[in-house]
Amino acid sequence: MKSPRYTREIPQRFRLEAEKCEGCGKIHFPPRLICQECQSRNFSVVKLHDEGKVVTFTVIHVAPDQFATQTPYIVAIVELNDGVKITSQIVDCAIDDVIIGNKVKIVFRKVQQDGQAGVLCYGYKCVLLRS
Ligand SMILES: [Zn+2]
């Protein structure tokens, strides 16, 4: 069974949908009910930019059980080109390749396998943009 949370987050996980406040223009990701800047409740759906840069990162050596086979791996705060910050794994590179300021692009990958039924959960991760 996919968890209710996983299902609820599908628009964000797969379509990178965020909400733009009609009051002040701030983009919220994940979406919120009330704008934290201006308390407006009016939002329009916008798609996040799929490229950005690494603001900071950490290397995970001891992971929760479902990610244990992936260690060591990198979790970064990425600032997208529209100013939105997301937390994402950086994949397809050596640990030493990642430095603050690296340009990255969002890709879709298997995130985890759920339980014995082996239901696959997908989501976004980031890869380095080579220049
Ligand atoms: Zn607002």
To the nearest 10°, report the CA torsion of 35, 3, 64, 14. -60
The answer on pLDDT for 1 being more than 60 is: no
Decide which of 24 and 5 is more confident.
24
Ligand 1 centroid from CA 11, angstroms: 21
Ligand 1 centroid from CA 47, angstroms: 17
Decide which of 73 and 66 is more confident.
73
Ligand 1 centroid from CA 81, angstroms: 19
CA distance 88 to 125: 5
CA distance 130 to 15: 24
DSSP 45-100: EEEPPSEEEEEEEEEESS--GGGGGG-SEEEEEEEETTS-EEEEEEESS-GGG--T
Ligand 1 centroid from CA 31, angstroms: 12
pTM comes to 0.81
pLDDT of residue 111: 73
46-61 confidence digits (pLDDT tens): 999 999 999 999 999 9
Instruction: Tell me the sheet residues that pair with 56.
Output: 77
Ligand 1 centroid from CA 26, angstroms: 6
pLDDT of residue 120: 65
Tokens of residue 45, six digits: 């759906």
Ligand 1 centroid from CA 28, angstroms: 9
Question: Which among 110, 60, 105, 107 is positioned nearest to 78, based on CA atoms?
Answer: 105
